[in-house]
Structure 1
Amino acid sequence: MAQVVIPLNAFSDEKGLKKDIDFYITIIANSNANGIEIRKELLNSSSITHDLQKIHHTLKNHHLLTVYSAPIPLWKENYSLNEEGAQTAMEEAKQIEAKWLKLPLGHFDVQKSNLKPLTNLLDQYPTVRLLIENDQTREGGRINPLFQFFQQAEKQSVPVHMTFDVGNWVYTNENACDAAALLSPYVSYYHVKHVIPQNHRLLTVPINDGNKELWKEINDVYFSTVPKALEFPIFPDSPSINRYIEIINGDHAERVSS
């Protein structure tokens, strides 16, 4: 049975979170979830240090695997490491004692990007594990640049792994099954979502217990034991969270069939 993490954006809308983050931390802690993903974009940029101190204080009262996610590309448009941005994110992750920091790839070029500064940066933060996610951008959401990055990181023993977001491949018009086949050796965290076309745009909707959704097909083949994030709209209460955890772990289907 895989660990399940609840990202805070599962409870947000276009205006952000409706209640204080402490409220959501408590709900997640009282559910059957194992962890929480703190999203930098949902924090107040003018008081982020204070907000993180408060979050850290609340998290210390619970035993949750903590992931920190920041929309800061690892590589800049000139293909160099975004050292300032990555270090800031690392410091923020360290402040809340996050086990993982999740960043998008940005503009990596296998011929022009130097991984040595990344190794040096990661050496400064031995308690934080860096995960790179396929996002919804052309530079960071396509299979080839991500595969080249992880290949080079592996060759140079750079301690970085992947967050595989199954829904984001739909936004970048990439084949998620092909991506999983190629990138699964690098994946340590699986973002579950179900994306459908609606009114000429793509929409992320809650998963269900059917067998035809893409997330489940890929999960069963590649990621059944990998920690998972439930990144889709969830009503903020523990029973709702627990229901989706049952779907993820197959418990709901087993009970129905019996």
Structure 2
Amino acid sequence: MADVIDIVIVASAFGMDAVRAQGHLKCAEACRRAGAAGFEVRRELFADEADAAPQHLRALGGAIADLGLWSVFSTPAALYTADGRLDAAALRLSLVEASALGARFVKLQLGGFVHDAAGAAIAGQMQGSNVRLVVENGQLAEGGSLAQFVGLFGALAREEHAHVLGMTFDIGNWAWRDVAPLDAAAQLAPHVEYIHCKTTVGEGARRFPAAPAADDARFIAVLDRLPRDVPRGIEFPFDASRVEADATHYVKWLAAV
């Protein structure tokens, strides 16, 4: 029997302006029509800060669940401050918001992690929560370094909190740090619980996320190196002239590749 892989569509794939104008729920409805299993809500795409209020998140989460989708709550907040300390307040707020949404995962940026993972403090914040914490490799030097992620999971293991959090492995974001995704996958695969799928076009400041080509052997090699039983998120932009057809096509393709 073939593996069943959950495919998530990230709200930004529908276009940032469209999400802000139409709201997340419209995008979630399109996500369901495309055949996806999950939908990633992006806090930075809320049209108004009031959208992050618990009652609004509960209503959105209930409507997403009624569509038969599970959700991810993504926030631009970072787990560690610029000087390397755990940002307990940011983690606490993110957990409150993700819990109100009813999310399966809460995804934060790594931030300025240096060497002290503060695993016990993270575990204390997570106590009683049904949301799984994952940190994502970002595009900036702070929070996007391969050495930081290797160091983080090494530090957590030494602190006997190896499983307090997992990783969102963004295949495309490594390009901004000039890291080969396959090299990163070889070192981080045991910690990966969610995959953001995209490639990039352009160079430097003119680099943009893009859909993988069907014959992109390097992209497929990275997927093959990562766990096959974790959700895969579509984070590249759909063609604005055929959004729903694109969404349906890539949900099917990414589940099968």
TM-score, normalising length: structure 1:
0.88
Q: CA deviation at 1:100?
A: 0.5
Alignment length, in residue pairs?
248
Aligned match of 1:34: 37
Partners of 2:204 and 2:119 lie apart in 1 by 42
- Note the 1:220-239 alignment, pairs <5 A: 220-235=224-239, 237-239=243-245
**Mapping 1:52-201, distance limit 5 Å:** 52-110=57-115, 112-125=116-129, 127-155=130-158, 156-157=160-161, 158-197=163-202, 201=206
Structure 2: runs of 5 or more not aligned: none
In structure 1, runs of 5+ residues without a counterpart are: 252-258
1:245 correspondence with 2:251:
yes
Q: Identity across aligned pairs (percent)?
A: 24
- Read off the aligned partner of 1:172 and give its amino acid letter: R
Deviates more, 1:153-162 or 1:10-19: 10-19
**Rounded Cα–Cα distance in structure 2 between residues aligned with 1:80 and 1:162:** 19
User: For 1:70, what is the secondary structure of its paired residue?
Assistant: strand
Q: Aligned to 2:77, what secondary structure does the other structure show?
A: coil
1:191-231 alpha-carbon deviations (Å, 9 max, x no partner): 1001011696111122231133x322201233433210010
Cα pair 2:61 2:103 within 8 Å, conserved: no
Maintained 8 Å contact 2:117/2:156? no
Q: Would the aligned equivalents of 1:190 and 1:223 in 2 still touch at CA under 8 Å? A: no
Pairwise CA distance, 1:242: 1.8
Aligned-residue CA RMSD in angstroms? Answer: 2.1
In the aligned structure 1, how far is the partner of 2:202 from the partner of 2:149? 25
Which residue is equivalent to 1:256? none
For residues 41 and 87 of structure 2, the distance between their equivalents in structure 1, rounded to whole angstroms, comes to: 21
User: Comparing both structures, which one devotes a greater share of its residues to helix?
Assistant: 2
Q: Is the 8 A contact 2:185 2:225 kept in 1?
A: no
Measure the CA separation in 2 of the matches of 1:145 and 1:138. 10
Distance 1:211 1:78 in 2: 39
Change (3 A) 1:185 1:250: same
Q: Secondary structure at the match of 1:141?
A: coil
Q: TM-score, normalised by structure 2?
A: 0.88
Amino acid at match of 1:182: Q
